[in-house]
Chains A and B, each alone.
Chain A
């Protein structure tokens, strides 16, 4: 099979930023922006929920874990549709497609962030809390000054890995015609008709570079953050 990548060369700027300079953010730029927004939201939400589950009564943690499992039992694509069709019905305002996807991703992933964070807190040696208490710190001080910073440092690689899978999930914005990378590729494919292999293989390569780069970064971080490396 002969591949002819001139279609990519001719449209490279469209793949990278779509119609951003015409006032419509798109392409790879939109993919990255959506992932960053959803990543920030789910990090804040997920860590918040983990703190509530860790510090609150035992029953709260059980309820939160059950809710997170329920959320993950529903396909992400349906969550996107729920937000896209229901928020307008409930509040009589239209939600832009990109925002629907960001909210759906945050909703979907904050449960995973919560699970990961709780696991990180559980993994700390019990002696740390006891040492803090013996040194005269209060429960609250032990948590904010001793446990949380250690847990978060250990968790950075896991968060980076979650972010890589979030970048892949932004491709589902395709179903709402949001002009991110996958939609952009589809538009170029529809226009050109005869180069699907070149277009979709190139798009796959862009995602691959982005996500495997992040995986390597996560792996490197995991090694670098081990005790004794002084970060």
Chain B
């Protein structure tokens, strides 16, 4: 066994600072991407119920592309291609100085790495969330939709007030699973240079070779965030 463990190489000074700022970035990206994923999921569900057939077809095609390609490739596309397609004014604003938007570790909420990561992970999980919602929706009796329509509710009101709450109740557990998955998948964003937990653990490893300690801390952090997130989301069901 060639393993000697020295926690002080990770839990003091610069390495500790790196890991803590990584934790802050992971929490921030999880929060922002969850918001994006939620909006994407609801939007896709609405589009799938559209009365216009080409809209439904295009939505299905888009979902299929996101589901059948790796998240990493999608992140590379958003980072290397998507960012370049933004209007020049927006790009200049995003890369400009916004002291209020800077997270610990000098990561700006509008930096291309953060924006591409939040959008990429949010869209990816949003599609899987939409699939879970669809499964929940399939279990809602067709009469519900007809009853809402005969009460004079608009298409959007029917979805938001009648169908989605029931779909969510039917698919609560898998939906929670997708948000947990989102949190874990934020680790992939280290490959386009977002300084979250995994990125910082690697940085510690190349700084002082304390690979075991650094990855142990990272692992515990992910398990702890996952544990807390699951508690919070499952408490939401009772509320």
Interface residues of A (CB under 8 A from B): 1, 70, 73-78, 81-82, 85-86, 89-92, 164, 168-169, 171-172, 174-175, 182, 185-186, 189, 196-197, 200-201, 203-204, 207-208, 211-212, 215
Contact = CB atoms under 8 A, between A and B. Distances in A.
B70 A77 contact: no
Interface in B194-228: 198, 201-202, 205, 211-212, 215, 218-219, 222-223, 226
A204 B74 contact: yes
B64 interface: yes
Interface string B40-64: 0000000000000000000000001
Interface string B13-42: 000000000000000000000000000000
B142 interface: no
B86 interface: no
Interface residues of B, number: 37
Interface in B163-203: 180, 184-185, 187-188, 190-191, 198, 201-202
Interface of B: 1-3, 64-65, 67-74, 76-77, 80-81, 85, 180, 184-185, 187-188, 190-191, 198, 201-202, 205, 211-212, 215, 218-219, 222-223, 226
Contact of B80 (A189, A207, A208, A212): A189
Contact of A200 (B71, B77, B212, B218): B77
Contacts of A196: 76, 80-81
Contacts of A168: 68-71
Contacts of B70: 168-169, 171-172, 182, 207
Given A172-B188, A207-B70, A73 B223 contact: yes
A73 B177 CA distance: 10
A99 to B, nearest CB: 17
B187 A77 contact: yes
A215 B68 contact: yes
B190 A1 contact: no
B73 A78 contact: no
B69 A211 contact: yes
Contacts of A174: 72, 191
Among B70, B191, B211, max chain A CB count under 10 A is at B70
